Structure 1
Amino acid sequence: MNNLLHQQEWRIIDQSSVGMHFQAVQSFGTDDTLCASVGTGNAPATARTWVHHNTVVLGIQDTKLPYLEDGRQFLNEQGYQSIVRNSGGLAVVLDQGVLNISLILPETEKGIDINRGYEVMFLLIQKMFADFNKQIEAKEIIGSYCPGSYDLSIAGKKFAGISQRRLKKGVAVQIYLCVNGSGSNRAQIIKQFYEIAKKGEQTKFSYPVIVPEVMASLSELLEVDLTIADVMLRLLNQLKLSCDLLYGGQLNEFELGLLPGYYQRIVERNDKISQI
């Protein structure tokens, strides 16, 4: 798996401190843009970091909840905006204590299979926090929100989840890292959302029964006060060891031309769901 982390170049696009006016729909449009650009050879492998203020990102499956609008109204009352991403998975919480990292990689002729994509992010996180000598596991944590086989946990408590997005020969491997704050408080919000949006009805899709105690932040698990900046430094140090050239950048001219179209698609998807 090491060879995916090792790239000739890594471009860093850091959007972790853009502020509250940077919306999650912009992030998902940006990752689609980067997939198309990196996948077609118009940009090198790219790591993008991003933070959003109180936002619950819903998966497509969540839009099938029988009382979705009641659930979204609850989130709004708690101070969270909600948007629907353009990929699978279920609801996750983003706030100022959650760092998102996207690794956008070009698919080679052999391609990057799903597990290989997950493993490269798992390896990166293990390396970033190796000095704490805590075992980080990748396995489904029952009772967590957006559970999956690549939930990252320490001592049975989940602090991160990984997803993937594939577009035009580009692969975006995305992770949310609960860096600080209360993991169980975040889970409590999602627990209440599902209770309100489902109201005990039988549904075609299964939704997680949230147990807030199985989720925590890295600061809680490592017993140290970690900031977003601390984790950014760890990320940069690891990527520096994994390439010949590491540099900061922004969207190039080709990408700036693509972004409005991909952004508009996500806006339209959310508008359509709001009208259901």
Structure 2
Amino acid sequence: MQTNQSLLIQPQWRIIDQSSLGPIFEALQSFAIDDTLCTSVGAGNSPATARAWVHHNTIVLGIQDTKLPALEDGLKVLEELGYRYIVRNSGGLAVVLDEGVLNLSLVFPDSEKGIDINRGYDAMLQLTEDMFKDFPVKIEAKEIINSYCPGSYDLSINGQKFAGISQRRIRNGVAVQIYLCVTGSGSERAKVIRDFYNAGKREESKKFIFPEIEPDCMASLSELLGVSLTIQDTMLRFLQSLKNFSGRIYASQLEGDEIPLYESYFDRVHQRNEKVLKG
């Protein structure tokens, strides 16, 4: 077996498209769904699965964000700006989700020796490059320090970040997740998180370091590529790219044993979220 073969090359890809469910679809549901898929794929009950999802006006906080000295003041700013907020069950810091941000998850079975963490990130980078290969730009994977939720696999064009990648592992499954800022203003989204940190007294935190956000270092793909991309257009690019790597893709939803499993994971993430925010 080729250990360096791209994780995108799978016999088939199961596709779960939740990109047009609207405002009623909550971010906590997404985290429970990905945990469900990790378990299902990891147990060999499902092939590799790709999921697309959109959430409206939601700030996804990291656990570290809940340690801000004046968290309540920060959360009040988000509420006044019309955002809901949740705390995710994986690492990282605050990110903005809205109807112009497409989230993609790639869920793989972990191998006996374990998938090297960078292979998961590299697969998502490769997918993103393929999706936008018709544009004469170079997509770089490197940390954009003054962005929100900075990380070594921030994706940028000419130094402006449009995407961030994270990874979650559970029960022999690996979920690699990306948010793609497709439309709208990247700098306006960055200002929301900057205002949250300023109200939460980022600079007074003794224990944790929070980014000093410079809004101009973030942009959407529409801004960077100079075209009016839509979520639907980006979805077509996503599906076509996966088909290029696999040859067979098919549409699906949660089914069979995944449904009670999802309900269990949703209860768990919901309770954990309540506990963290109230604690």
TM superposition score normalised by structure 1: 0.98
1:172 aligned counterpart, secondary structure: strand
1:148 is the counterpart of 2:151: yes
- 1:58-77 map, 5 Å: 58-77=61-80
2:204 aligned counterpart, secondary structure: coil
CA distance in structure 1 between the partners assigned to 2:240 and 2:205 by the alignment? 48
Provide, for residues 237-273 of structure 1, a one-character-per-residue CA deviation record: whole Å limited to 9, x for no partner. 0111111421000012121120011111111111112
**Which residue of the other structure, out of 102, 108, 113, is the alignment partner of 2:111?**
108
**Which residue of the other structure, out of 226, 230, 246, is the alignment partner of 1:223?**
226
1:198 is the counterpart of 2:204: no
Match of 1:125 in 2: 128
**Which residue of the other structure, out of 168, 172, 184, is the alignment partner of 2:175?**
172
1:43 is the counterpart of 2:29: no
2:56 aligned counterpart, secondary structure: coil
How far the C-alpha of 1:198 sits from its partner, in A, is: 1.8
**Which residue of the other structure, out of 181, 184, 198, is the alignment partner of 1:181?**
184
Match of 2:6 in 1: 3
Tell me which stretches of 4 or more aligned residues in structure 1 moved more than 6 Å.
none
Residue type at the aligned position of 1:121: M
**Which residue of the other structure, out of 88, 91, 94, is the alignment partner of 1:88?**
91
Check conservation: 1:127, 1:238, Cα contact below 8 A: yes
Segment drifting more, 50-59 vs 198-207:
198-207
CA distance in structure 2 between the partners assigned to 1:200 and 1:37 by the alignment? 42
Sequence identity, in percent?
A: 63
Q: How many residues align?
A: 276
Check conservation: 2:69, 2:201, Cα contact below 8 A: yes
Check conservation: 1:67, 1:196, Cα contact below 8 A: yes
Segment drifting more, 137-146 vs 266-275:
266-275
Match of 1:272 in 2: 275
CA distance in structure 2 between the partners assigned to 1:200 and 1:151 by the alignment? 24
How far the C-alpha of 1:63 sits from its partner, in A, is: 1.1
CA distance in structure 1 between the partners assigned to 2:106 and 2:163 by the alignment? 15
Check conservation: 1:42, 1:254, Cα contact below 8 A: no
CA distance in structure 2 between the partners assigned to 1:202 and 1:49 by the alignment? 35
How far the C-alpha of 1:200 sits from its partner, in A, is: 3.1
CA distance in structure 1 between the partners assigned to 2:168 and 2:32 by the alignment? 11
Segment drifting more, 260-269 vs 21-30:
260-269
Structure 2 residue runs without a partner (length 5+): none
Check conservation: 2:139, 2:156, Cα contact below 8 A: yes
Residue type at the aligned position of 2:230: T
How far the C-alpha of 1:199 sits from its partner, in A, is: 5.5
Compared CA separation, residues 199 and 44, structure 1 to 2 (3 A): closer
